[in-house]
Amino acid sequence: MYVSVSYECLEMVGTMARMDVMLVVGARPQFIKSAPLIREILSRHRQIRLSIVHSGQHYDPEMSDIFFRELRMPEPMVNLQAGSGSHAEQTATIMKRLEGPMIKAKPDVVIVPGDTNTTLAAALTAAKLNIPVAHLEAGLRSGDMTMPEEINRRLTDHCSALLFAPTQTAVCNLKREGLSNASWLTGDTMVDALHIAMPQVRAKERAFLEQFRLRPHQYVLVTLHRPSNVDNHSRFRQILIALDRLSKRLPVIFPVHPRTLKRLDKLGLRKSSTQTGVIITRPQGCIETLGLLHNASSLLTDSGGMQKEAFLLRVPCITLRSNTEWPETLEGGANRLLVNPEMIPSMAMRVASDEKLRDRIGRIANPFGNGHSSAKIAHLLRMTF
């Protein structure tokens, strides 16, 4: 049975014995969603001894080190330096390198955020060592088993002792799979993260726009990294051609994910892409990305997390996929699924011309919580283990 936790009720929990918690992260989305929980534990829960393990799944400094600095996260206890490779290679490498530190640390619980290969590898390693697993952002489902993330999140949920569901939809998904007894409706720590980050974003966003000669609400932000979009030469070329067409009517800025950059090089598309009107730039840090997103006319993405970030910032989103793990964002046209790349220019221009769309998104009830999710999760850890 899931429970919606009230912060006031949890405040009544008395002082408990010290507990050791291990948090395993490895990729940009995990850093962002974990940062407010880390901050909560370190500042308000002295009886929780927290150790952080970095799998090294994202090893590029622009996808890893910068986030630790900007989010003011403490240095990890160890970096496993798993690096890249096939899904099997990466997952297996993390498991092999994580087992020793996990046995040595003997944590009372291992927290695994999100749905990356790091998430599944850490969950399986802990479960096989009979260490309880707590899944942060549990219960998400896209229904698409061709996505590695869908496999990771389903398997992780089913080997976890504690499931922190960000939305009521996620709770219902877990209930259908017989996981109600381990489920708690906590809200989404991304809301907490935005509350923390937005003062910095607002202070710096003007400089970000001036750097790229962009004007508020008059450009499209693009992020792409999924194999379904960037690994297929023909489809990726179609997307780039569509972005070029769009850039002749509305500026397009495309911070390129390292994985996407490799595909550009391998497919011989980097040179041709730089000859278009699209502004191609290196990956941006958390604050820079939020600044660019906050001021965009719309977001074109295949990311799961950025769909939600756009919704919370009232920015219209176009998701270049046939499904989403965040169905809540589809309400009121806040997020639109698009499969055909040829439709990108017309869809983006339609969104840009709808002057009242942002206001309508702002009136949609927020299903992701009130910004106290990290506090609820920290108290649940103390109550459960």
State the Cα–Cα distance between residues 307 and 327, nearest whole angstrom.
10
Establish whether 225 is a catalytic residue. yes
Burial (CB count within 10 angstroms: exposed 0-12, middle 13-18, buried 19+), residue 350: middle
Place of tokens 């009521």: 168
Torsion of CA 39, 44, 45, 46, to 10 degrees: 100
β-pair partners for 183: 163
Of 225, 233, 257, 379, catalytic: 225
β-pair partners for 23: 52, 111
Residue 245, SS3 per DSSP: helix
Residue 136, SS3 per DSSP: strand
Dihedral sign for Cα 374, 376, 378, 381, please.
negative
Among residues 205, 341, 219, 231, which one has the least CA distance to residue 284? 205
Per DSSP, 129 falls in state T
Per DSSP, 64 falls in state T
Q: Which residues are known to be catalytic?
A: 225
